[in-house]
């Protein structure tokens, strides 16, 4: 899977159809701040210094007592802080961070716009990079096979070495046997058969070039995907001298077994797993056997559960998670990377225990046997609306606190509004609002609200630009352009609080929505989103 989602924010920017209102057993009011040791007194984040960085020394490819636990993570581009978060979530070091080079120019293919975000971080010597034969619309496999682009490959290698990433793992032309990338043999100007040999030759050109750069100690991964007919992988193989590992990207997606409109049963999930393994068009067992015949170890550079709007995924599939763990152990996989994002074509985010409760719990049981989970993040900063001056970072005593995800959601077309899991939220679940474009914004409402003169919103900080909210009381706009300051995308997950003067009569309905006049758009792939954790209803002056 590429970094193909148009929205690199952590807000998981694909709209789905899961609006939810408070149901039986859900707690709307958490309690009064200061009255108990609850939300008002935020738990201090446990220090995990050993989890913030990967293990010291070169990345291991040798024996491991539980190979599947040599796991890396992908969590959107340029987000090293999120890799540390993933390590905290599994209470274990993460062996690799993964990212994708941009594909819009040769400068991007040489690392522009990407390497600097990882340079001088603990992950610089633990990187897995997707590298490409040529930029989109600016080349073809014929030229790559002939060595025309070798100077650009040398530029990438030199930039990696200078950035402290001379031992990076490089996935050249990953998922080449699919038809969705321009470097697929299916897109070769001379036809598929020529494309197969051209890809192999292009891989040899790349390998020879990058290995010749002083200071280079790269690991090169030949990385097909399973279940793709029409392309002969044996003809695409560049030769043992050019390949260090054979990679397979594996997702719980199956167009033969899962059908739109048919909820995935356990029987279907078992059939889908068998289909994934035994597909005659290069199932994962067939690729594993080919790797063994070449005396090459396996890696799994991408894998994940799958939910999509089309209906070809197993959704909350704990069986798939278990089978992946067992299969990777049985095949002594060198390492694997979990693709922990909500991408535009599918959701794989196991933080989201609202959509994936069983799969997330099974993953935790297998990769975090300690059972230790993150504590809620303390608020790092507070602001006052409308001045923007520094504000409180905790609810004052007597504040009525509501869990934001227990509201009633409205999600017009092109938006998403629903509960969304997050390990650092107070109750592990947020109210997530996402808007794509200039249409009607999504919202969440809280009927029968307690009386208040001040609303205090604890939220997960957005990245890539501030987001603005509006607050309505009984349908009347009470506050607009409520600024939710963003944080640098390279940082770990942060929570902040904004204090808004709003008169709320007892029993009123309070609605929070993304501001219709939000000054951010989707141009350049940026989506408007905010994830609310808790909402405090405070008396006048109590917020200071």
Contacts of 274 (CB under 8 A, 6+ apart): none
Rounded Cα–Cα distance for residues 135 and 211 (Å): 21
* C-alpha 400, offset from chain centre: 33
Rounded Cα–Cα distance for residues 308 and 441 (Å): 22
Reply yes or no on whether 175 is catalytic: yes
Cβ–Cβ < 8 Å for 449, 493? no
Strands (E), 385-527: 400-403, 408-410, 415-421, 429-435, 443-446, 452-460, 467-473, 476-484, 495-504, 510-514
CA end-to-end distance (rounded Å), the chain: 48
Dihedral-angle region of residue 138 (phi above 0 means left; psi in -120 to 50 means alpha; beta otherwise): alpha
C-beta atoms surrounding 379 within 10 Å? 21
Rounded Cα–Cα distance for residues 199 and 182 (Å): 11
Rounded Cα–Cα distance for residues 313 and 262 (Å): 10
Strands (E), 138-204: 169-172
Among candidate residues 135, 131, 130, the one with its CA nearest the CA of residue 106: 135
The helices-and-strands tally (H runs, E runs) of the chain is: 11, 21
Beta strand 429-435 pairing with 528-538: antiparallel
Three-state DSSP class for 417? strand
Burial annotation 236-258 (CB, 10 A radius, 16+ → b, else e): bbbeeebbbbbbbbbbbbbeebb
- Considering 88, 98, 196, 302, which one is annotated as catalytic? 302
User: Biggest alpha carbon distance in the chain?
Assistant: 74
- For 517, the token pair is 């006049």
Cβ–Cβ < 8 Å for 184, 195? yes
Cβ–Cβ < 8 Å for 141, 149? no
Rounded Cα–Cα distance for residues 189 and 143 (Å): 10
- Considering 175, 196, 426, 427, which one is annotated as catalytic? 175
Question: Phi first, then psi: what are they for 358, rounded to 5°?
Answer: -75, -45
- Is omega for the bond preceding 211 within 30 degrees of 0, making it cis? no
- For 528, the token pair is 């408007």
Q: Active-site positions?
A: 175, 302
């Amino acid at each position: 899977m590429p970094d193909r989602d148009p929205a690199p924010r952590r807000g998981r920017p694909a709209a789905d159809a899961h609006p939810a209102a408070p149901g039986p057993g859900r707690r709307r009011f958490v309690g009064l701040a200061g009255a108990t040791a609850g939300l008002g007194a935020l738990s201090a984040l446990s220090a995990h210094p050993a989890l913030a960085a990967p293990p010291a020394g070169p990345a291991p490819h040798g024996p491991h007592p539980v190979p599947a636990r040599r796991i890396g993570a992908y969590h959107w581009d340029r987000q090293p802080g999120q890799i540390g978060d993933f390590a905290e979530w599994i209470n274990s070091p993460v062996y690799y961070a993964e990212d994708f080079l941009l594909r819009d120019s040769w400068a991007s293919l040489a690392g522009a716009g990407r390497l600097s975000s990882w340079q001088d971080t603990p992950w610089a010597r633990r990187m897995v990079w997707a590298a490409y034969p040529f930029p989109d619309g600016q080349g073809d496999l014929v030229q790559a096979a002939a060595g025309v682009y070798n100077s650009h490959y040398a530029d990438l290698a030199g930039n990696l070495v200078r950035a402290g990433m001379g031992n990076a793992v490089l996935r050249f032309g990953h998922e080449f046997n699919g038809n969705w990338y321009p470097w697929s043999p299916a897109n070769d100007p001379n036809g598929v058969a020529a494309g197969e040999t051209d890809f192999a030759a292009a891989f040899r050109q790349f390998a020879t070039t990058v290995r010749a750069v002083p200071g280079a100690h790269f690991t090169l991964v030949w990385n097909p995907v399973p279940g793709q007919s029409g392309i002969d992988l044996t003809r695409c193989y560049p030769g043992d001298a050019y390949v260090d590992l054979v990679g397979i990207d594996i997702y719980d997606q199956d167009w033969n077994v899962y059908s739109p409109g048919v909820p995935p049963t356990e029987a279907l999930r078992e059939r889908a797993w068998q289909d994934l393994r035994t597909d005659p068009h290069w199932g994962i067992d067939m690729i594993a056997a080919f790797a063994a015949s070449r005396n090459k170890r396996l890696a799994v550079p991408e894998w994940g559960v799958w939910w999509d709007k089309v209906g070809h995924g197993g959704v909350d599939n704990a069986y798939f998670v278990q089978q992946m763990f067992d299969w990777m152990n049985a095949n002594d996989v060198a390492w694997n990377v979990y693709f922990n994002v909500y991408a535009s074509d599918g959701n794989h985010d196991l933080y989201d225990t609202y959509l994936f409760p069983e799969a997330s719990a099974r993953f935790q049981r297998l990769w975090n046997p300690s059972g230790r989970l993150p504590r809620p993040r303390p608020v790092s900063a507070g602001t006052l609306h409308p001045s923007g001056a520094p504000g409180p970072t905790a609810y004052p005593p007597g504040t009525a606190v509501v869990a934001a995800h227990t509201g009633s959601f409205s999600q017009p077309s092109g938006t998403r509004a629903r509960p969304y899991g997050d390990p650092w939220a107070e109750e592990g679940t947020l109210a997530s609002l996402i808007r794509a474009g200039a249409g009607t914004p999504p919202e969440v409402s809280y009927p029968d609200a307690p009386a208040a003169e001040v609303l205090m919103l604890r939220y997960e900080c957005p990245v890539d630009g501030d987001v603005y909210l509006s607050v309505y009381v009984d349908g009347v706009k009470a506050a607009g352009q409520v600024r939710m300051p963003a944080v640098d995308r390279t940082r770990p997950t942060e929570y902040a609080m904004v204090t808004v003067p709003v008169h709320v009569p007892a029993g009123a309905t309070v609605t929070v929505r993304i501001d219709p006049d939000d000054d951010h758009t989707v141009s350049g792939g940026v989506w408007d989103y905010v994830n609310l954790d808790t909402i405090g209803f405070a008396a006048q002056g109590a917020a200071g």
